[in-house]
Amino acid sequence: MAQRKPILHAFAPFIPDGARVLILGTMPSPKSRENGFYYGHPQNRFWPALAKVFGEELPLTVQQRQSFLTRHRIALWDTLASCEIAGADDASIRNPIANDIRPILDANPIQAIFTTGAKAAVYYEKLILPYTNMPAIALPSPSPANCRYYTLETLSEAYAVIRKHCNE
């Protein structure tokens, strides 16, 4: 296993005006930190799943992804502001420090919060829910490591619940 390194969240949340949905991961992967935007690893299935849910072309660039999120009023951030982690392995996380999502909730008509993956759900419940009193809906991880449990089709089916909260 790779050695754990202290990581500070590398970029700001993406919050389009009037965001109705907030999706929280755990911590950006090394590839996402390199790319400067969420779910940046080419094998991560977050963007393919959302494109399928909304019946749209796959957004490939950061600008296309931001435009996609803006159209559907989806905000993205992560549960953690910092932690010690080995690569992108959420199971290796130690010393997690939560992001404060209350300003996002105060400034936007968020109707639902979703977490991507089991660890994001655990950190939300343990570190954030006590301050927001707004439960999150746990979604399966879009990580390529989760391929044997969720095909793109079944992942998209699980993510379809997001659509009803976007009020298009």
Identify the CATH number of the domain in which residue 117 sits: 3.40.470.10
pLDDT by residue (tens digit) across 90-123? Answer: 788 889 999 999 999 999 999 999 999 899 999 9
What's at 47, amino acid-wise?
W
What is the pTM assigned to this prediction? 0.94
6, pLDDT greater than 90 = no
Of 66, 79, 72, 44, nearest to 152 (Cα)? Answer: 44
Q: How confident is the model at residue 167 (pLDDT cuts 50, 70, 90)?
A: low
168, pLDDT greater than 60 = no
88 vs 8 pLDDT, higher one? 8
pLDDT by residue (tens digit) across 11-46? Answer: 899 999 999 999 999 988 888 888 889 998 888 999
Domain range for 17 is: 5-166
| CA–CA distance, 101 with 50 (Å, rounded to integer) | 22
Count up the domains in the chain and report the number: 1
| CA–CA distance, 80 with 65 (Å, rounded to integer) | 22
